[in-house]
Structure 1
């Protein structure tokens, strides 16, 4: 039965019962209306309104739940679907909404995977060009400066040495950027070594006091999951160094039968009421690619804690 006819019949039943009570009951209306008659009619009207309101509330409650779900749904934070309660169009509408969410999450996941794959490929290309082209060019410039400095007069040699140091610093910075764009240590030595190198580099360049703790015998997550864990840690640590005004940072990588748990905690000023930026949304998109859960919360001790919960890899038989 359609929603229109259910509401119509509910109201019709209430009105028919009221009319039958007037026609078949002992109550009559005088002219002028007596006080007892006015009390009875007023009470009957109140009963009709309450009954009508209760019946409509029960039948329209699923629509209210669906409206709340529509206003709170975030594709980056998947949650439970509204239950398809109710009858007729209401139940069908909820099922259609759930199917739409499934389709949107699948399409977003596919597009995000393609975008992040293209991003990683572009990062690798830029890193190779920085290392192979710019790095080699600056290395040649350093060698040429050394040759010229060795044959220059003493008054010019000190200035050439200074230019050498500036060029060497630029070369080191380019190599550092290339490592951040393409974490070769992740491919060669694994996730723990890559995270250690990342925290060491951040500590050397930002002045943060960094501690890290890694469980032994971490399960193999696979190349994609390890890259997601590394990129989330990289983004979180970079945010701490740039915006948190923190002095201490702690990185923990632990595991249990349910999965692997990455935590980055700092003692900075915390997220406050500021909306999430592109960095955190990017971390959420990466987490969804591997079915992980990302949370960003202020711990009781202050600062910010970024937690990435990666489910345990399934073993193929």
Structure 2
């Protein structure tokens, strides 16, 4: 028990947060970090109590003067932004956490957490979440390609192989031989077409050879032929100054948005607008389909993965992503990237 108490004391004193414990509004113990702040900043703990008192009253009961009642009845812990050393060249920004330890004995703590540290931790957490999501999206893409290779390419090649083996049958007539040769050729042509389709989905060569606008026109023509839905590409934006990464992302956004409209929205017409301005370039994909309730698709599900993928890809390159949709009125996906 004594050893456990020592561990707790060590944790308390060595914490990088400034921790102060009060009883009946009187400071009874502080850790090392709190003592250093009090000494270096001439910080009076009573000032922190006044800030906490004012903030909690304002937040929980602007008209009630019973501070203890508010603490006991309405909350256990509250976070309050506070800035110390305001008159110094580099003010210090903290979150002050008010935590009730024993409400019957009126014991509570005030903990000062550096806001910069918390923000960095939030960024790291967000980065980890993004990494997990990207890994998941990559695995889903690999799975889709694997299924296409197995179900389409492999089956087509296998059928052609079986046909070639039959050519060894010396008893076949010329007519049967010509018919079999035609079947094998058709199978190989279908397989080649499927390979080209997969190559276009993975990385269209026209994007590297002729730029984003041409790639979008080829994409829209192919999807229009396959779906029967009218897809228009509008704009004459000069994308030569954009990096390959940004052009790739804009192409993928258009591809994903069109596929969403075709799969989910029952759209009759889709328009792709690519417009360059003085300091930024804008891509808009507009459909006249069913639309949907955007807030309901903010969490992970089958459809929102595509939306989240678009958003994260744009954010990773310092762009802006926005999606507007109204049920029965269609959807507009907008992406903006700065032009340097």
**TM-score, length basis structure 2:** 0.56
Question: What residue is the counterpart of 1:188 in the other structure?
Answer: 209
Structure 1 residue 102: Cα displacement: 2.4
What runs of 5+ residues in structure 1 fail to find an aligned partner?
Answer: 14-48, 67-82
Higher Rg of the two aligned structures: 1
- Alignment of 1:204 with 2:204, yes or no, is no
Q: 1:261 to 1:65 in 2, by over 3 A?
A: farther
Q: Does the aligned pair in 2 maintain the 1:297–1:304 contact within 8 Å?
A: yes
Question: What residue is the counterpart of 1:298 in the other structure?
Answer: 325
Q: 1:53 to 1:95 in 2, by over 3 A?
A: farther
Q: Does the aligned pair in 2 maintain the 1:109–1:289 contact within 8 Å?
A: no
Q: 1:279 to 1:86 in 2, by over 3 A?
A: same
Pick aligned residue for 1:288 from 315, 319, 334: 315
- Alignment of 1:5 with 2:19, yes or no, is no
Query: Number of residue pairs matched?
Result: 247
Q: Does the aligned pair in 1 maintain the 2:212–2:239 contact within 8 Å?
A: no
Q: Does the aligned pair in 1 maintain the 2:234–2:274 contact within 8 Å?
A: yes
Q: Does the aligned pair in 2 maintain the 1:296–1:307 contact within 8 Å?
A: yes
Equivalent residues in 2 for 1:62-141 (5 A)? Answer: 63=78, 84=94, 92=113, 94-107=115-128
Pick aligned residue for 1:50 from 64, 75, 86: 64
Query: In the aligned structure 1, how far is the partner of 2:24 from the partner of 2:285?
Result: 54
| 4+ aligned runs moved over 6 Å, structure 1 | 54-57, 110-120
Q: Which has the higher contact order (CA 8 A, sep 6+)?
A: 1
- Alignment of 1:257 with 2:278, yes or no, is yes
Q: Does the aligned pair in 1 maintain the 2:275–2:283 contact within 8 Å?
A: yes
Q: Which has the higher helix share?
A: 1
Q: 1:251 to 1:301 in 2, by over 3 A?
A: farther
Q: Which has the higher strand share?
A: 2
Question: What residue is the counterpart of 1:275 in the other structure?
Answer: 297
- Alignment of 1:220 with 2:241, yes or no, is yes
**TM-score, length basis structure 1:** 0.60
Q: 1:298 to 1:111 in 2, by over 3 A?
A: closer
